């Protein structure tokens, strides 16, 4: 019977100190990192999911000008929120953020709760976002595990095999610097985004190289260093995708009068009537649009 692999230890204090020193000198200077307002931090974290940081910075400031408080966001119509979300994509995130705001008004007097369990119970807020807000806004020593953190900790402590999903959260929590949990959260994300990349990682510049099992493995066998894959099959052109079509439909409805029905005419790109009707149906099921009950392909942004 094979022996079970021992659970990986947390990063040692010396490794944490090296990461924080690197972050102090070379971390990304992003506008939303200058706030301690829990609501502003929550907005930035939801925006940063699946979106390039360069796009988030401008959109974050614009969104907060439109909805400066939890109460303002909760009181808005979904259509207003979706208009303010223009250019960010993945529009369900905007509605999830508003659902969370309404939950905070109903249960927390319009304030972002401090307790991790309360954050996790908010509608539309997952474990990563809850932990990021807890660490960044309230100084709670919990680890927020996104794609970058997963890669960094997996490589440092797990080597080429990485870490199992069940291990990652415990290791991340145990590795947080207790004196600077917010800075630690940003620092590990920055190491993953700028140095510990999926392909062609810049191990020689990484503050964790002295503790990294992955770096040691690739130094011993450089031919196994991860490189971009060759010969990938050509991907579907983005304009042929349902995601692209949904985005164009929502943009058309953003530009329309929010209280009247708008005919979404074909073609949109290469998409015909049937594709548009299917996309409208999916958008309606997601709560992003409302469909006219008496006319085909007439819709508006959700009003309630």
Catalytic residues: 45
DSSP β-ladder status, 262-263 and 289-291: unpaired
Cα gap 42→67, rounded to integer Å: 13
Cα gap 218→199, rounded to integer Å: 12
Token digits of residue 111: 């304030």
- Write out the H or E segment, with its range, that includes residue 263: strand 262-263
Contacts of 205 (CB under 8 A, 6+ apart): 195
Cα gap 27→153, rounded to integer Å: 18
DSSP β-ladder status, 289-291 and 298-301: antiparallel
Name the β-bridge partners of 271: 268
Reduced to 3 states (helix: H, G, I; strand: E, B; else coil), residue 60 is helix
Running DSSP on this structure, what letter comes out for residue 51?
S
Q: Which residue from 249, 254, 293 is spatially nearest to 77, judged by alpha carbons?
A: 254
Q: Which residue from 239, 130, 171 is spatially nearest to 12, judged by alpha carbons?
A: 171
First to last CA, the chain: 58
- The dihedrals phi and psi of 300, each to the nearest 5 degrees, come to -155, 160
Q: Where are the alpha helices (DSSP H) in 76-200?
A: 78-84, 92-107, 116-121, 127-138, 147-158, 165-175, 181-194
């Amino acid at each position: 019977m094979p022996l079970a692999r021992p659970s990986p230890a947390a990063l040692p204090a010396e490794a944490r100190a090296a990461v924080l020193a690197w972050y102090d000198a070379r971390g990304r200077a992003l506008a939303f990192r200058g706030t301690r307002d829990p609501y502003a931090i929550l907005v930035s974290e939801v925006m940063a999911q699946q979106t390039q940081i360069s796009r988030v910075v401008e959109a974050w400031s614009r969104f907060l000008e439109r909805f400066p408080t939890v109460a303002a966001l909760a009181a808005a119509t979904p259509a207003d929120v979706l208009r303010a979300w223009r250019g960010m994509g993945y529009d369900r995130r905007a509605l999830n953020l508003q659902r969370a705001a309404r939950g905070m008004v109903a249960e927390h007097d319009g304030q972002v709760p401090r307790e991790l369990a309360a954050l996790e119970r908010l509608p539309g807020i997952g474990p990563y976002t809850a932990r990021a807000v807890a660490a960044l806004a309230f100084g709670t020593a919990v680890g927020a595990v996104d794609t970058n953190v997963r890669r960094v900790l997996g490589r440092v402590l797990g080597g080429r095999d990485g870490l199992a999903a069940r291990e990652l959260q415990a290791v991340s929590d145990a590795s947080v610097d207790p004196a600077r949990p917010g800075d630690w959260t940003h620092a590990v994300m920055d190491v993953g985004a700028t140095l510990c990349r999926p392909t062609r990682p810049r191990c020689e510049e990484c503050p964790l190289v002295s503790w990294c099992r992955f770096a040691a493995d690739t130094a011993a066998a450089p031919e196994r260093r991860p490189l971009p894959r060759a010969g990938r099959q050509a991907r579907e052109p983005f304009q042929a995708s349902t995601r692209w079509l949904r985005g164009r439909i929502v943009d058309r409805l953003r530009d329309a009068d929010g209280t009247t029905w708008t005919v979404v005419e074909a073609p949109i790109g290469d998409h015909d009537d049937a594709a548009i009707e299917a996309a409208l149906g999916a958008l309606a099921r997601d709560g992003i649009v409302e469909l006219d009950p008496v006319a085909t392909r007439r819709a508006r942004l959700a009003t309630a």
